[in-house]
Amino acid sequence: MVRTRTLFFTTLILILLLSACAPAAVATPAPEENPSAADLSGIKTYLLDKSSELTGSSKSLKGASDRYYALAESAGFDYAALWESNPAEVSAALRDAKSAWMAASPVYEQMEGIVAGTPSLAEYDVILDAGASGDEDTENAVPFDLTLPDGRVLPKPGNLFGVLESTLWGTYDDFTTGIDADLDGNGTVDFGESLPEANVLKAGADALDLYTTELDMASSEWQPTESDAFTALVVMVPTMSEYFNSWKNSRFILGNASEQRDFVVISRLADIQNILGSLQIVYSEVKPMVESTDEAQAAQIEQLLGDLKNFVADVHAKEQSGYQHTPEEADVLGAEAQNRATAIAGQVAQIAAKLNITIED
């Protein structure tokens, strides 16, 4: 009896042990470890600095927009009457709003390379700067509708910097009042001098403030990974084509013939340099990792990034000196920038593959 009991318990225990151990018998080998990880804290520090600047500018823009809205409201949204009765305050409010926009936009471009290239933050790029309107491109449209203070809803109106730019500079009829105004008092109504639709301006500014604040919080929580860094480089560098296309179709090339409502104030070439600058910061953080695999290629990628930025800077400098590039020249330059960018992205992707780092979709 005792023997039977002992045998029974022993068998039971052995069976259970065998069952528990069995999966380990065919356990798969652990994935290879990556070489020493890069210190990416510099990327986050840079991003947070810029994000803080951006939220500051957004709040200034919101403040100025609120002032303009209050003025318009007090005039019963009769914009002609508003301008006639209170030109000084209207001019001041709009001047402040435009200044704030012109401060915010380049700051965002200086962080766009990181934001747009990081999968967990990329949605903000669509909202703030890259997203199309639902009318233009349903697939790449912004994910939000804009609800105006008067209750109207603008479905998927386009990215917020674009909405605000076209409102403030009057390049899109639906967002303006049609009332021209000599805002700078120089005696002539120049390009961009018109009264914005106060509801659109306020709603856009409020939304910009909201999303830049959210982006700031998301950036604080974000822990950059090597995958984020390499993805940003591979994704953002080749967007030269998009940016050069915007530049080719902008007022800076086509003048008044341009139908583009965005990128009318700051040349896209300046934006491109800012984006590349942020990507240079990203690359500098991962360069030690790249060097551990291929020193020569690490140096070459760094040089190519610098050369590309200088290439764009040269074109911009020429533009700023008064040179008007022809559309074909712009096309050639755009193709060259795209080729250089593709080569950089390609090399970064090869290094990422050698380092076993995933480039996210």
Q: Contact residues for other proteins (CB under 8 A)?
A: 1, 4-5, 7-8, 11-12, 15, 19-20, 22-23, 25-26, 28-29, 31, 116, 119-120, 123, 139, 143, 234-239, 241-242, 296-297, 300, 304, 307, 321, 327-329, 331-333, 335-336, 338-343, 345-347, 349-350, 352-354, 358-361
Whose Cβ is closer to other proteins: residue 177's or residue 231's? 231
What residue has token string 């040179």?
323
Whose Cβ is closer to other proteins: residue 52's or residue 320's? 320
CB 60 → other proteins: shortest distance, Å? Answer: 26
CB 135 → other proteins: shortest distance, Å? Answer: 15
CB 336 → other proteins: shortest distance, Å? Answer: 5
CB 304 → other proteins: shortest distance, Å? Answer: 8
Cα 195 → chain centroid:
28
Whose Cβ is closer to other proteins: residue 75's or residue 215's? 215
Measure the CA–CA gap between 212 and 48, rounded to whole angstroms.
Answer: 12
Measure the CA–CA gap between 57 and 51, rounded to whole angstroms.
Answer: 10
CB 269 → other proteins: shortest distance, Å? Answer: 16
For residue 238, give the nearest of 126, 113, 358, 345 by alpha carbon: 345
Q: How many CB atoms lie within 10 A of CB 336?
A: 15
Whose Cβ is closer to other proteins: residue 6's or residue 74's? 6
**What per-residue string of b and e applies to 139-169 under the rule 16 or more CB within 10 Å gives b?**
eebbebebebeeeeebebbbbbbbbbbbbbb
For residue 349, give the nearest of 124, 33, 117 by alpha carbon: 117
CB 210 → other proteins: shortest distance, Å? Answer: 13
Cβ atoms 268, 250 nearer than 8 A:
yes
What residue has token string 């104030």?
265
Whose Cβ is closer to other proteins: residue 168's or residue 348's? 348
Whose Cβ is closer to other proteins: residue 123's or residue 209's? 123
What residue has token string 């020249």?
329
Whose Cβ is closer to other proteins: residue 235's or residue 312's? 235
Cβ atoms 132, 146 nearer than 8 A:
no
CB 291 → other proteins: shortest distance, Å? Answer: 15
